[in-house]
Structure formats: structure tokens, C-alpha cells
Amino acid sequence: MNQLNISIGNEIKRIRQERNWTQAELCQGICSQAEISKIENGRNSPTVDLLQQLAERLHTPVSSFFINENKKTNFRMIDQEIIQLTRLNRYSEIFLQIDQYLITETDKEISILLRYHKLIIEEKTNIIDYRTCISQLLNITAEEKLIEESFLLYLRIQMSIAILYTNYGEYRHADSIYSMLFKIDYHTVEYKKMKLKILYNYIRNLIKQKDFSAILKETETAINESNHLDDLSYLGHFYYQRGYALEQLNSSLELIQEVYTLAYGIFLATENTSFATILEDHLSDVMYFSLKSI
Amino acid sequence: MMKSLPHMIGNEIKRIRKEKKMTQKELCDGICSQAEISKIENGRNSPTIDLLQQIAKRLRVPLSLLFRDQLESDTFRETDNHLSSLFREKKYQEMKQELSQNDATHHNEILLLKAYFSILLEVKTDKIDYRTASTLLSRLTDREDIWYESPKMYIRIKMAISNLYAENEQYHLAEKVYEELEQLTYDTEELKKQLIKIYYNHSQLLTYEKKYEAGLKITEKGLSYSLSLNDASFVAHFYYQRGYFYEVMMTDDSSPIQRDYTIAYALFRAFHLHTYEEIVLKGKERFLLFTF
């Protein structure tokens, strides 16, 4: 059975029940009750026309049938759990947890997510070297046709390969991955936010290569794009990266102060204490203010 | 009434394919025949969901994107911008003419938008009193399923009702509207952004009523909600507002006031919102820890 048909069926059923309707009430004049029952169970793939009629009857946009909330939540939960454990360096626990999930998990996307996390941590704990890790990650992106099946996960794995290259001094290799990623179109807000994350790591790679004028150009784009999307995730970092490039290029003190101060203001506002503290401790002479001195 | 869905989906597929500079052949390779993709793009074939999913994957867009009607949402935005600006500039005569024109649209959301503006126009030009207006507006939102069909309009109409109450000093009723809105479930990204706006307007109302304690609470809710979503739209406003609450509640220690106004000032600068940056500078310079 096709996962999409199942999730569409589930959504139709969920919305119908939310409205306290029977199957007969929903399908009257549209299709037979046997058919609606098959659709709700994911055993039939509905046509576009039929979906439209059901949506109109339920007074909901057709697109609402495609939002599979349960799966999204589950994916996010597992992802967050592993990220959290990684931050705490509880690696043996992560391996146990991942293997446990892999045995029971039926969703393809979540399985790939788990395999990806496992490879990253195996590299981190020196079970495998970074080259092996990269080639295995590349296998995942290629063999599963990941770019078509799960675009966000594809981007994330490609980015993690580029980050590994950066960490091991292979900046050119990293660059070629980034330039490939920047050729792709990012159609939705979610994708565009992912692009900001890629940009952040790309700029880190530029810093390693001391290409400061490129950093000025890229941070400007990244800041404008963050503002356009009203997205705070990397804005402070982009100002920080820009401040660093300005410093290295011997720009005017005024400009450097302005940019570092903005980075600091954003870190304070977003309660990113660790970065705010770094700025207070190391850069207070090139900032307009610091809360530490009050 | 509506343009057929296959037609609309066909247009979307064609638009995205061209944006990606792909040929029909490249798009359909291994999925279906070129004759079929051509029919789908022209809206002459109603594709199955399975087929659409494969096309969406090849185009690297989520399937749901193909169902978003670019044209209708553009028309909605245009109508909205146009009517909003007429209303803001008090061009009521012109607005009345626009609203009485019976154009071709049967799109529910646009009809709702027009009904909403008609009521606002009538109350502004004293054709009806605010009680009648709020009853009429309530009737729009009472229609079955509007919360599902167009949650953005639902919220907007509710906020307009609250404004009417507030303008006529019925603060208790005005607040109640926000309290009810805050109880609803906001499960999509777009709706979550709406909730942030609701918190902001609610706290502004409380500021106006000088209910500082309550306002502070709502502001902090809005602030932590914005931060949990990494959403920048109102975060600087919330810091400014919290600074204001601290200021008027006259705490002995001025450092939280200074901190919040300074953060708001830096944020407006970082967001390139220079008008707001100037407002903070002019009004609150004595609290700022630095100026640019």
C-alpha cells in the first residue's frame, strides 16, 4: 500500500470525524460508501476530481488532505531526541536508541534519518573515519533517490557531508557541494529556511578559507533573506560572521562595532546565552554596549 | 463556480516546470508519456494522486504545493491591498463603488473579504452603529466551518469586532474576543504566526486600558512563543512593549527597562525597520545603553 494514500485517507477520516459526520453523509452524491471506506483506509488512490468534491463538502482546502501531522510530529520527535542526546555526548545511549527504533520503524524517511544520525555519531566517536562516513552518506543520498523522496533530508545529508569536509580541511570539496546545493530552487518557506542553514555553514567554510570579501557578500544576502522570512534562527550568526569579516578586512571601527552590537542584541533577544557570553568576554571592546558591565 | 482543480494543478505544474527550465520530456521521463503530461498541464486530464506524487517529486516540491491556487491567492491579496488602502486613506466613496461592483468572483474568501469591508465602511460612515456592526461581523464568523475554510479571515474579523468594542469603551467585551481567540488551536506555521499577532494586539489593548500587569503577562507569552518559533515578526515590538510596562510600573531598578528598550532598538536596526528604530530613539533615548 502506498503511504500517501494511507495518510490522505487518515486525514479525510480525521476531518470527517471532527465534523461528526458519517461516511454516508460525506459521500452522498459523490461516490459510493464502499469507495469512501476504501479511500479512508488507504486501499484506493482517489482521483483529483474526487478529492476536490470531498474537500468542498468538508469545507476545507484540498491541500489539508496532504498534511500528515502524525508523521511529521513523530519525525520531529525522534530527530530532537537524538540531537539532544548528541549535545549531551551520550553516545552509547544514542546507538542503543537508534538500533531500537530501526527494528520497529516502518517509515522510510524516519529510517533514513536514523541511519544518517548513526553515521554522523560513528564518525564523531572514531568508529569510522570521515572518508568512510562521507561515502556512506553519499550512498544514502544516491541509492534511495532521496532528492525526490525527501528533499529536506537530502539537503541535510549533503550539508553534513560538506561540514565534514570543512572540519577536515578539505574546503574545496565542501565548496563544490555548496555550489551544487545553491543551484537547486527552494520553493517553500520551509525549504527557504533550510537554505539559510546551508548558507550559514557555507560562510563558515569561507571563513576557514579567509575569503572575507565573499563573506561580506554572502552575509548581506543571508541577512536580507532572514529578514524577508522573518526568521531569527541564524540572523545573529550572520551578523557575527559579518563582523568577523569586517574586522579581518580592517574596516572602520564604527562599522565593526555596529555589526557586532547587532549580533549581540539578537543573541540577547533570542536568549542564546552561550553566544552572548562569548561576545561579552571577547569582543566587548568592539561593541557599543555589554550587559556584563552594568 | 471554481475553476476546475485539474486545470489549476496543470497550470501549477507548468509554471514550476518552466521556472526550473525543464522540458516536458525531462519531467515525465519514466513516469508517464509526454502526451499524458501535456494533457495534464492543459487541465484536460484529471491525474491520479499516485501520478501527481511522482510529478511533484520530480519537480522537488511538496505535493500540497500543486494544490495551492496561485491565481486565487494573488487575487485575494490584490483585492485586500486595494480595499485596505482605500479604507486607510478614508476614500469611502470610491470604496463604496468598488464594493458594489458585482465582479466575476465567486471565490468564498474574496466574497468574505468584501462583506467584511462593507460592514467596516458602513460603521465608519455612520450608516450603522457599532453594535449592529459587531453583530453583522459576528454573523460572518458564525457561518459554519469558516474557521476551517479561512482561519485568517476568521481571526481578522474577530479582531475587528474587538476594535469596535474598544473604540466604544466596551473593554471587557474587547478583551473577551482575544481571550477566546487565544483558546483556539493553531497547528500550521501560518496560523502560529497569526497567534503571535493576536498576542501583540491583545497586549496593546491592555496597554491602552493601563492594565499593565495583565499586559506584561500577554507580552511575555507572545515573546516566548515567538522565540520558540524563531519568528521575528513581532519580537522587537514585544521587547519594546515589555520595556514600556517596566517603565510605567515604576520599578526601582531601571536596568530591565534599559535592557529591553536597548534590545528593541538593536533589533529594529538588525531587521532594517528604520522607522521603528527612529521611534525608539526619539521616545526612549534616555534609557538606551548606546545609540548608533
- Chain A residues whose CB is inside 8 A of the B276 CB are none
Q: How far is A153 from chain B (nearest CA, A)?
A: 12
- Chain B residues whose CB is inside 8 A of the A49 CB are 5-6, 46
- pLDDT by residue (tens digit) across B135-169? 999 999 987 678 877 888 999 999 999 999 999 99
Q: How far is A63 from chain B (nearest CA, A)?
A: 5
Nine-digit cell at B88?
486607510
- Chain A residues whose CB is inside 8 A of the B5 CB are 48-49, 51-52, 62
How many whole angstroms separate alpha carbon A69 and alpha carbon A57?
22
Share of chain B above pLDDT 90, in %: 65
Fold equal for A70-184 and A211-294: yes
Buried b (16+ CB within 10 A) or exposed e, B63-72: bbbbbbbeeb
**One CATH from 1.10.260.40, 4.10.520.10, 1.10.8.50, 3.40.50.720 for A3-66:** 1.10.260.40
Q: How far is B175 from chain A (nearest CA, A)?
A: 28
Contact indicator for A196, A228 with CB cutoff of 8 Å: no
* B15 and A CB contact within 8 Å: no
A and B: number of Cβ contacts within 8 A:
138
How many whole angstroms separate alpha carbon A69 and alpha carbon B101?
41
ipTM confidence score: 0.83
* B49 and A CB contact within 8 Å: yes
- Chain B residues whose CB is inside 8 A of the A9 CB are none
Residue showing cell 561579552:
A280
Nine-digit cell at A125?
566517536
Category of B153 on φ-ψ map: left (φ > 0), alpha (ψ -120 to 50) or beta:
alpha
Q: Which CATH architecture has domain A211-294?
A: Alpha Horseshoe (1.25)
* B271 and A CB contact within 8 Å: yes
Q: Residue B238, class by beta-carbon neighbours within 10 Å (0-12 exposed, 13-18 middle, 19+ buried)? A: buried
Q: Which CATH architecture has domain A70-184?
A: Alpha Horseshoe (1.25)
Q: Where are the domains of chain A?
A: 3-66, 70-184, 211-294
Nine-digit cell at A42?
488507504
- Chain A residues whose CB is inside 8 A of the B141 CB are none
Least CB–CB distance from B58: residue in A45, A148, A294: A148
Q: What is the pLDDT along chain A (294 residues), one digit of tens a residue?
A: 577 888 889 889 988 988 888 999 999 988 999 999 999 998 888 888 888 888 888 877 777 787 666 677 788 899 999 999 998 999 999 999 999 999 888 788 899 999 999 999 999 999 999 999 999 999 999 877 788 878 999 999 999 999 999 999 999 999 999 999 999 989 888 899 999 999 999 999 999 999 999 999 999 999 999 999 999 999 999 999 999 999 999 999 999 999 999 999 999 999 999 999 999 999 999 999 999 865
Tell me the residues of chain B between 92 and 151 that have a Cβ less than 8 Å away from chain A: 144-145, 148-149
* Alpha helices per DSSP H over A105-170: 108-124, 130-143, 146-149, 151-167
How many whole angstroms separate alpha carbon B97 and alpha carbon B92?
9
